[in-house]
């Protein structure tokens, strides 16, 4: 155990957890990393490429090494950073990326092969022979690629999402962020402050220090008290703002219950979409390291992280707390860690400082003008080599803290491609004035990292944000804090013969960068792709700038000349589940239920999805074992007596106004202005390019009142385009459009006995052929005064009506009709029989109206009026369309036992089956109980002139070839007498 006094942990609350099957204990407030360190566990994983033993390197989300598989079963999650996992009772974690045990990883052999695995290894090795690409190389690479393993089970957790619209979003809850939030909130702004950590406070949680003559932590508590008492502030811990999008929109993930033992029955995470008028990026800074030979050994970590572990979690980084700890630095902040450790009673070997004139700040030894040039220790650090003026000595050492300075977390400031600029004084990249519009940057995120600077910056930047918001700040004193020493000298890496790691996660060493330089992969973008530097889960948070500096040195350029790195979202990895947010399975997307859904379910109907609609596909009856039996029965019932189908899904648009008739005249390709009151007309709609896009009916209910129906699939787009015509093309027409699809339950009542059945529900309306002829429509009442609309239209080719009633009565009306029609064998039919009936009648639907179809192709060319202008009329007459010779015709197999298959291509007898000899294709096919064989509709070159011809319907995909006869598309009643009966 290496636990020391103090810290922000609750020692009264012990927590049991396991790592690689071994049980350990930690405390409430621990992270998995701090608890492992407290138990003396240094080795926590293996590196990606060389399978080198690795330990915990940082204390935050930038962690490159300590990636673990968290959880078990379906909740197993790979690549979880132990440094941000909050400990809970029963937590179970495993190390990853090793074959066999963590201690004896068989793939450690890769490390011995490292000379062959250098930068660009993949590109160089898997080149030849070419035949190996797919069969040999790809399986090998795939097996080796990737970190951690997946459960391969569905995600059992639920996710939530929400929206926030604050005046000001403060990203980061450290000294600058808290001060900014406080300043803005006191002035009355609506403030959201989000921090990825489990508690707000930022680096103040990791440092000692005083603010306003009191411990900094007291100040944090005070500010949090004040903020949480304000109704205009939303404090969001455990919330990572991962991306900056246009116009002040940010994506953020709140980890709601991941820190609880069983998730507490709550959602796992919430995806917040935050739209902020102003944003302050106070995301702090991330420490960088200094590469030296064998610098990746467990026990070596960032000096600042060591300080966090000591102050916040009361742990020290050695396996044995008597082993001395050393610091390697090029700046004053490294000394701060030494002072902290001394103060905590941890044995300090000393500070190895690369600077010539370095001296101690406290009771510890300083090795000035010295560097660390090597390390020993099989699974964890045991000694380091310190070299001063060419003389080297090995010193016993249980842990080494490395500090190469701090890099501002500019990530979100660069999400709109704003490049940071180099600051030679601070030796770091700081944001330029090119952050996303509305974003200001405060504190360490712009290089003002001392507590004093950060507090002042928080106030200053918040005032700027308030000014932009038009809110007057309330004046208040800036809290007083000490100015920490922060001098730094450029020192980027210790030259070495052995490997010195720059990017731990991707096993990129100084040598790899040298190789990239030699091979002319010098621009940072090339460097990244050649070496994989800065890739994967940490995106180079601890390595990018150092790599750039090494490349600069090799190419004798300055760092800004060498390049800058910018970042894309997300800041840290985001789970797909939370982005999907919300429902899965049956609730994945909305379902629209028809008015007769209850009835259909009670009948055991089989449903099909049509867009969002759930429609009854067919209604199986007892004894029917195959869907065809049900569908044939339903279709035959319509042809022989009467059937009823719920056709509510057809789009219905109410068109009213003085100019409604004129408007429809311009929207439909055929004559619509002459439609009389009380009548319905079939209508074709074209796109402006002259192609057909929808068909339907238009009913004139009153002088200035029409109802347009659209196909089910196009209801939305037709409405949108009609609105376009109304608002954008002919704004002077006085017309109103209202979608009314759901208001009316609509039924097709079709078959020779449809009138007889319908008469039984009509109140007093005469529906004889004389009184209510084909294509008539009327408002009426049924079933004792229920208001209804009746249309005499037919999709099946039979005598048919469509009856509409208020949707709430739809289910009862369906049942009533079936009851009253028992003697007529009144039969409910579904979409499948509907399809059969319309194919038998030769009516087009989506299969025929492909977006490439002209009116002439479906035999309705003459409907497109040349006497008027309507949408698409001019372009429908252009040469290419006018010369189109494909025509919709019907097909019957010569051998009635053979099927006609949708998608088959039509080939003249004797011709080869290839594109050159293509004559058209089958668009729809079904078994027709009426014809007694399979039948099809399709487009055939000059089809209208080829009746009776034999042709081949070929389906080379499945080796089918069926001889078919070209027939009229109207298999039923080609003269249309039945529907006028």
Partner 1 sequence: MTDLTPITALGASAPRSQDFGAYTLRENSALALVSLAIARCATPPTPFGLTLPSAGCCTTHADYTAFWTSPDQWMITAENLGETDFAATVQNEVPDARLTEQTDGWVAFDITAETDGQIGAVLSRVANLPLIDLTPGKAVRTGFDHMSIFLVRRSERHVTVIVMRTLAVTLWHALETILQRLGDTK
Partner 2 sequence: MLIPHPLLGLRDAQEFTYLGDANLLNRPDPTAPDAEAAFCDYVFLRDNPAGKHRELWFHEQGDRSWLVVTRDTLTHEISDVELATDVARRGK
Residue numbers of the site for partner 1 (CB under 8 A)? 160-165, 265-267, 273, 275, 582-583, 587, 589-595, 597-598, 612-613, 648, 654, 656-658, 734, 736, 738-745, 782-787, 806-809, 811-813, 816
Burial of 381 (C-beta count, 10 Å sphere; 0-12/13-18/19+):
buried
Retrieve residue 110's tokens: 């890769």
Name the minimum Å distance from CB 246 to partner 1.
Answer: 14
Name the minimum Å distance from CB 168 to partner 2.
Answer: 16
Q: What is the DSSP letter of 895?
A: S
Query: Which of partner 1, partner 2, none interacts with 246 (beta carbon under 5 to 8 A by kind)?
Result: partner 2
Query: Which of partner 2, partner 1, none interacts with 125 (beta carbon under 5 to 8 A by kind)?
Result: none
Query: Which of partner 1, partner 2, none interacts with 198 (beta carbon under 5 to 8 A by kind)?
Result: none
Q: Starting at the edge strand that comes first in sequence, how are the strands of the sheet with 613-618 ordered?
A: 592-593, 613-618, 606-610
Q: Which is closer to partner 2, CB of 879 or CB of 916?
A: 879
Name the minimum Å distance from CB 192 to partner 1.
Answer: 11
Query: Which of partner 2, partner 1, none interacts with 648 (beta carbon under 5 to 8 A by kind)?
Result: partner 1
Query: Which of partner 2, partner 1, none interacts with 874 (beta carbon under 5 to 8 A by kind)?
Result: partner 2
Q: Which is closer to partner 1, CB of 546 or CB of 831?
A: 831
Name the minimum Å distance from CB 710 to partner 1.
Answer: 15
Q: Which is closer to partner 2, CB of 255 or CB of 726?
A: 726
Name the minimum Å distance from CB 616 to partner 2.
Answer: 29
Query: Which of partner 2, partner 1, none interacts with 869 (beta carbon under 5 to 8 A by kind)?
Result: partner 2
Burial of 147 (C-beta count, 10 Å sphere; 0-12/13-18/19+):
middle
Q: Which is closer to partner 1, CB of 318 or CB of 711?
A: 711
Q: Which is closer to partner 1, CB of 129 or CB of 585?
A: 585
Retrieve residue 223's tokens: 């500010």
Q: Which is closer to partner 1, CB of 390 or CB of 590?
A: 590
Unique residue bearing structure tokens 């990883």:
105
Give the span between the Cα atoms of 615 and 601, in whole angstroms: 10
Name the minimum Å distance from CB 187 to partner 2.
Answer: 22
Name the minimum Å distance from CB 267 to partner 1.
Answer: 6
Give the span between the Cα atoms of 788 and 701, in whole angstroms: 12
The footprint of partner 2 (CB under 8 A) covers: 245-249, 275, 437, 688-689, 720, 723-724, 727-729, 731-732, 869, 873-875, 877-878
Retrieve residue 79's tokens: 């690549």
Q: Which is closer to partner 1, CB of 275 or CB of 434?
A: 275
Kindly report the CA angle at 507 between 506 and 510, in degrees rounded to 5? 120
Name the minimum Å distance from CB 727 to partner 1.
Answer: 9
Query: Which of partner 2, partner 1, none interacts with 72 (beta carbon under 5 to 8 A by kind)?
Result: none
Query: Which of partner 1, partner 2, none interacts with 591 (beta carbon under 5 to 8 A by kind)?
Result: partner 1
Query: Which of partner 1, partner 2, none interacts with 863 (beta carbon under 5 to 8 A by kind)?
Result: none
Query: Which of partner 2, partner 1, none interacts with 536 (beta carbon under 5 to 8 A by kind)?
Result: none
Query: Which of partner 1, partner 2, none interacts with 592 (beta carbon under 5 to 8 A by kind)?
Result: partner 1
Q: Which is closer to partner 1, CB of 21 or CB of 265?
A: 265
Give the span between the Cα atoms of 794 and 980, in whole angstroms: 9
Query: Which of partner 2, partner 1, none interacts with 582 (beta carbon under 5 to 8 A by kind)?
Result: partner 1
Name the minimum Å distance from CB 429 to partner 2.
Answer: 23
Query: Which of partner 2, partner 1, none interacts with 8 (beta carbon under 5 to 8 A by kind)?
Result: none
Asked whether 445 and 284 are in contact (CB, 8 A), the reply is yes
Can you say how many angstroms the Cα of residue 123 is from the centroid of all Cα atoms in its chain?
A: 31
Give the span between the Cα atoms of 547 and 506, in whole angstroms: 13
Q: Which is closer to partner 1, CB of 165 or CB of 862?
A: 165
Query: Which of partner 1, partner 2, none interacts with 812 (beta carbon under 5 to 8 A by kind)?
Result: partner 1
Q: Are strands 10-19 and 22-28 parallel, antiparallel or unpaired?
A: antiparallel
Query: Which of partner 2, partner 1, none interacts with 13 (beta carbon under 5 to 8 A by kind)?
Result: none
Name the minimum Å distance from CB 48 to partner 2.
Answer: 37
How far CA 186 is from CA of 190, 191, 420, 817, in Å, comes to 10, 10, 32, 69
Name the minimum Å distance from CB 667 to partner 2.
Answer: 13
Burial of 357 (C-beta count, 10 Å sphere; 0-12/13-18/19+):
exposed
Q: Which is closer to partner 2, CB of 158 or CB of 876?
A: 876
Q: Which is closer to partner 2, CB of 741 or CB of 873?
A: 873
Report DSSP letters for 570-638, one per residue. -SS---HHHHH-S--GGGSS--EE-TTHHHHHHTTPEEEEETTEEEEEE---TT--SHHHHHHHHHHHH
Name the minimum Å distance from CB 969 to partner 1.
Answer: 33
Q: Integer distance in angstroms from the first to the last C-alpha of the chain?
A: 95
Give the span between the Cα atoms of 963 and 391, in whole angstroms: 93
Can you say how many angstroms the Cα of residue 84 is from the centroid of all Cα atoms in its chain?
A: 23
Q: Which is closer to partner 1, CB of 159 or CB of 939?
A: 159
Peptide bond into 570 cis (omega under 30): yes
Among 334, 337, 398, residue whose Cα is nearest residue 370: 334
Asked whether 310 and 37 are in contact (CB, 8 A), the reply is no
Unique residue bearing structure tokens 């209202």:
738
Q: Which is closer to partner 1, CB of 79 or CB of 741?
A: 741
**Beta bridge pairs of residue 790:** 778, 803
Query: Which of partner 2, partner 1, none interacts with 743 (beta carbon under 5 to 8 A by kind)?
Result: partner 1
Q: Which is closer to partner 2, CB of 11 or CB of 437?
A: 437
Q: Which is closer to partner 2, CB of 140 or CB of 874?
A: 874
Asked whether 934 and 898 are in contact (CB, 8 A), the reply is yes
Name the minimum Å distance from CB 807 to partner 1.
Answer: 4
CB neighbourhood size of 812 (10 A): 17
Burial of 298 (C-beta count, 10 Å sphere; 0-12/13-18/19+):
buried
* SS3 state at 9: coil
Name the minimum Å distance from CB 53 to partner 2.
Answer: 48
Asked whether 869 and 659 are in contact (CB, 8 A), the reply is no
Q: Are strands 428-430 and 421-423 parallel, antiparallel or unpaired?
A: antiparallel
Name the minimum Å distance from CB 731 to partner 1.
Answer: 8
Unique residue bearing structure tokens 């406070």:
201
Give the 3-state secondary structure percentages of the chain, helix then strand then coil, rounded to 5: 25, 30, 45
How far CA 30 is from CA of 215, 856, 976, in Å, comes to 21, 75, 81
Name the minimum Å distance from CB 251 to partner 2.
Answer: 13
Q: Which is closer to partner 2, CB of 363 or CB of 723?
A: 723
């Amino acid at each position: 155990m290496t636990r020391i006094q103090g810290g922000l942990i609750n020692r009264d609350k012990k927590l049991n957890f396991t790592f690689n099957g071994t049980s350990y204990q930690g405390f409430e407030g621990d992270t998995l990393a701090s608890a492992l360190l407290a138990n003396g566990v240094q080795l926590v994983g293996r590196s990606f490429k060389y399978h080198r033993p690795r330990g915990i390197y940082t204390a935050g989300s930038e962690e490159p090494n300590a990636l673990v598989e968290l959880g078990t079963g379906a909740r197993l999650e790979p690549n979880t950073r132990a440094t941000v996992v909050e400990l809970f009772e029963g937590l179970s974690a495993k190390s990853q990326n090793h074959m066999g045990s963590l201690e004896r990883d068989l793939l450690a052999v890769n490390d011995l092969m490292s000379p062959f695995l250098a930068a660009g290894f993949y590109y160089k090795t898997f080149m030849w022979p070419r035949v190996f690409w797919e069969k040999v190389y790809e399986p090998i690479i795939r097996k080796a690629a990737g970190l951690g393993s997946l459960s391969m089970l569905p995600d059992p957790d639920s996710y939530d999402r929400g929206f926030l619209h604050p005046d000001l979003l403060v990203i980061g809850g450290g000294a600058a962020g808290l001060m900014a939030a406080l300043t803005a909130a006191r002035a009355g702004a609506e403030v959201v402050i989000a921090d990825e950590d489990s508690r707000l406070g930022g680096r103040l949680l990791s440092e000692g220090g005083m603010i306003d003559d009191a411990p900094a932590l007291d100040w944090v508590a005070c500010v949090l008290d004040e903020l949480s008492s304000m109704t205009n502030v939303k404090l969001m811990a455990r919330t990572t703002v991962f991306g900056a999008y246009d116009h002040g929109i940010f994506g953020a993930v709140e980890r709601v219950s991941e820190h609880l033992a069983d998730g507490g029955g709550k959602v796992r995470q919430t995806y917040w979409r935050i739209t902020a008028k102003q944003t302050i990026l106070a995301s702090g800074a991330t420490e960088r390291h200094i590469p030296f030979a064998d610098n990746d050994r467990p026990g070596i970590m960032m000096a600042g992280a060591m300080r966090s572990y000591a102050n916040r979690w009361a742990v020290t980084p050695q396996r044995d707390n008597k082993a001395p700890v050393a610091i390697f630095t090029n700046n004053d902040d490294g000394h701060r860690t030494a002072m902290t450790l001394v103060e905590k009673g941890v044995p300090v070997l000393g500070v190895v400082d690369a600077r010539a004139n370095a001296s101690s700040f406290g009771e510890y030894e300083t090795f000035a003008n010295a560097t660390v040039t090597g390390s020993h220790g099989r699974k964890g650090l045991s000694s380091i080599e310190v070299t001063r003026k060419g003389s080297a000595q090995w010193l016993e050492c249980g842990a080494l803290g490395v500090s190469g300075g701090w890099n501002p977390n500019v990530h979100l400031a660069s999400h709109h491609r704003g490049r940071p600029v180099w600051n030679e004084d601070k030796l770091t990249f700081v944001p330029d004035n090119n952050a996303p519009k509305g974003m200001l940057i405060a504190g360490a995120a712009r290089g003002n990292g001392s507590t004093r600077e950060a507090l002042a910056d928080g106030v200053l930047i918040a005032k700027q944000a308030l000014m932009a918001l038009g809110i007057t700040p309330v004046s208040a004193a800036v809290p007083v804090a000490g100015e920490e020493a922060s001098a730094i000298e450029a020192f980027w890496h210790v030259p070495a013969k052995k490997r010195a790691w720059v990017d731990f996660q991707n096993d990129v060493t100084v040598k790899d960068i040298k190789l990239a330089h030699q091979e002319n992969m010098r621009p940072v973008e090339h460097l990244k792709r050649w070496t994989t530097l800065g890739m994967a889960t940490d995106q180079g948070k601890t390595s990018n700038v150092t790599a750039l500096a090494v490349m600069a040195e090799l190419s004798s350029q300055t760092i800004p000349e060498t390049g800058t790195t910018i970042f894309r979202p997300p800041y840290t990895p985001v789970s797909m589940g939370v982005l999907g947010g919300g429902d899965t399975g049956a609730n994945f997307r909305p379902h629209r239920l028809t008015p007769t859904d209850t009835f259909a379910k009670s009948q055991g109907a089989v449903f099909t999805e049509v867009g969002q609609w759930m429609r009854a596909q067919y209604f199986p009856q007892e004894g029917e074992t195959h869907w065809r039996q049900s569908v044939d029965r339903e279709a035959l019932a319509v042809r022989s007596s009467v059937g009823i189908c719920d056709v509510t899904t057809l789009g219905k648009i109410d068109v009213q106004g003085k100019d409604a008739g004129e408007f429809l005249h311009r929207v439909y390709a055929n004559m619509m202005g002459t439609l009389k009151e009380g009548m319905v007309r079939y209508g074709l709609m074209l796109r402006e390019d002259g192609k057909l896009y929808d068909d339907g009916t238009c009913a004139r209910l009153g002088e200035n009142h029409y109802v347009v129906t659209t196909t089910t699939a196009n209801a939305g787009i037709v409405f949108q385009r009609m609105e376009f015509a109304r608002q954008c093309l002919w704004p002077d027409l006085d017309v109103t459009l209202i979608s009314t699809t759901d208001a009316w339950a609509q039924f097709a009542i079709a078959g020779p006995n449809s009138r007889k059945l319908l008469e039984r529900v009509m109140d007093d309306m005469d529906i004889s052929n004389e009184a209510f002829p084909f294509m008539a429509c009327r408002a009426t009442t049924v079933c004792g005064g229920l208001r209804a609309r009746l249309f005499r239209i037919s999709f099946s080719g039979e005598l048919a009506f469509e009856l509409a009633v208020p949707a709430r009565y739809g289910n009862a009306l369906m049942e009533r009709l079936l009851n009253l029609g028992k003697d007529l064998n009144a039969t409910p039919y579904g979409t499948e029989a509907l399809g059969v009936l319309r194919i038998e009648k030769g009516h087009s639907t989506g299969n025929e109206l492909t977006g490439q179809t002209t009116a002439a192709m479906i035999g309705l060319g003459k409907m497109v009026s040349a006497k008027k202008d309507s949408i698409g009329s001019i372009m429908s007459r252009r040469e290419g369309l006018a010369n189109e010779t494909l025509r919709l015709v019907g097909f019957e197999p010569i051998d009635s036992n053979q099927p006609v298959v949708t998608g088959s291509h039509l080939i003249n007898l004797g011709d080869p089956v290839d594109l050159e000899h293509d004559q058209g294709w089958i668009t729809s096919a079904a078994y027709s109980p009426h014809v007694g064989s399979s039948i099809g509709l399709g487009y055939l070159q000059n089809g209208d002139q080829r009746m009776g011809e034999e042709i081949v319907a070929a389906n080379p995909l499945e080796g089918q070839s069926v001889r078919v006869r070209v027939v009229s598309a109207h298999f039923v009643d080609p003269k249309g007498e039945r529907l006028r009966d």
